[in-house]
Amino acid sequence: MSNINKVKYRFPEGFWWGSAASATQTEGAADVEGKGKNIWDHWYEVEPNRFFNGVGPEKTSQFYYKYKEDIQLMKEIGHNSFRMSISWSRLIPNGVGEVNPKAVEFYNNVINEFIENGVEPFVGLFHFDMPMELQKIGGWVNREVVDAYEAYAKTCFELFGDRVKKWFTHNEPIVPVEGGYLYDFHYPNEIDFGKAVQVGYHTILSSARAIKAYKEMGQDGKIGIVLNLTPSYPRSENPADLKASVLADAFFNRSFLDPSVKGEFPQELVQILKEEGFMPVIEDGDLDIIKNNTVDILGVNYYQPRRVKAKENLPNPEAPFMPDRYFDNYVMPGRKMNPHRGWEIYEKGIYDILINLKENYGNIECFISENGMGVEGEEKFRDETGIIQDDYRIEFIQDHLKWVHKAIEEGSKAKGYHLWTFMDNWSWTNAYKNRYGFVSVNLDKDGERTIKKSGQWFKKLSENNGF
């Protein structure tokens, strides 16, 4: 019997066990107590049909009203940390200018509640939710928004930096670039590679300027960025396939990873932008700011790999320029799939990322800031006691943690694992189609919370610091 609690994969002392979520996806209360509109509120108003079952961001999971209950549940299922984000348009309704006192009160209450319950808040400043007033002047295309963001970041550091010691400038900054300016899955739904490049550049500049401000203010925590790193695996060792994977990596991973950690942009990407005539507008002094204000810590979001091959056909010279002018996506035969999301499950990818960071990025301190499994129709797994038997999620987490553990044994400075997400939340245009949480949210019963089997299992994982 003594072997029952034997831990095969033990993690380093003080490992961060928890989960992650964002303001727009969980808070609800989208137009109360002084909150300004963000791009999601606006887009839902004008095109509700783009959202699964027409469910919008106005209600979501009601964290605004239920945060005390939710933080209790986090504590109950073994969280010692949690990544949240501040809603820029709640704190500064127009994006610039007046600070909303109700928002200050709310975020102070939330942060204090976390700390009182022994859950360390990791706080993100920007998680896809541009204030609508700033989007009207172009969003990240407009350099004025970089100034506005720096002022917003300073406001957050002043208000909350005495208690928050882990800050993140952006979450998955490539996503607003891809969604908003290339592939039409985020507002403003433009397809314009030139704007996409400028948006990416201004995002990196804003991150460096926030880091600079943080250091100049003498804040004593750590500040970083959260990137969704998706390893680009070539179909074969053929030089053409290898080159395709290097270029895909430069577009989608290194575009943000290199400037954030090394302070410089990948040469392959710069060369393509020059050749194709898409260099961003860069002002004097910008590159020095980026060079000298790199991150202290890196959050790594990992869901699936990217598999690529050399182009099968010549691109249409008349078509708008897109990154995939340089590669094709490759569907690997026999791949393991999450059928609900249509995503490949490739656990070793998480190890490959961590080893890459160790070998090529100075072994920067990092943690898995998101990893998770979205399942549609999860209610069918609810048993007679009312608990969702999500063994598939437990297996998914274990299979990824084994590779995180291996990377740590080989010297990676990975300090934690946060699941996406704590409770089922509103997933942008997918709304509540796929459920990701440790805790089920019943929208028909005023957002009633029920811990899933995975949540109970996570408590043991955290208590044992391994499995």
Tokens for 90?
A: 């709640």
pLDDT by residue, tens only, the chain of 467 residues: 444 568 999 999 999 999 999 999 999 999 999 999 999 999 999 999 999 999 999 889 999 999 999 999 999 999 999 999 999 999 999 999 999 999 999 999 999 999 999 999 999 999 999 999 999 999 999 999 999 999 999 999 999 999 999 999 999 999 999 999 999 999 999 999 999 999 999 999 999 999 999 999 999 999 999 999 999 999 999 999 999 999 999 999 999 999 999 999 999 999 999 999 999 999 999 999 999 999 999 999 999 999 999 999 988 888 899 999 999 999 999 999 998 888 999 999 999 999 999 999 999 999 999 999 999 999 999 999 999 999 999 999 999 999 999 999 999 999 999 999 999 999 999 999 999 999 999 999 999 999 999 999 999 999 999 99
- Indicate the CATH number for domain 16-464: 3.20.20.80
Q: Yes or no: say if 298 and 211 are a contact pair by the CB < 8 Å rule.
A: no
Other beta carbons less than 10 A from residue 145's beta carbon? 24
Closest C-alpha among 128, 127, 140, 131 to residue 185: 128
Supply the pLDDT for residue 301: 98
Q: Yes or no: say if 302 and 312 are a contact pair by the CB < 8 Å rule.
A: no
Q: Render 220-259 in DSSP notation, one character per residue.
A: -SEEEEEEE---EEESSSSHHHHHHHHHHHIIIIIHHHHH
The yes-or-no answer on residue 144 being catalytic is no
pTM: 0.97
Which residue among 113, 172, 347, 378 is the active-site one? 172
Other beta carbons less than 10 A from residue 435's beta carbon? 26
Supply the pLDDT for residue 417: 98
Q: Rounded to an integer, what distance in angstroms lies between the CA atom of residue 163 and that of residue 221? A: 9
Closest C-alpha among 229, 230, 210 to residue 221: 210
Radius of gyration of the chain (CA): 21
The yes-or-no answer on residue 384 being catalytic is no
Supply the pLDDT for residue 1: 42
Supply the pLDDT for residue 3: 46
Q: Yes or no: say if 130 and 139 are a contact pair by the CB < 8 Å rule.
A: yes
Tokens for 336?
A: 């393991």
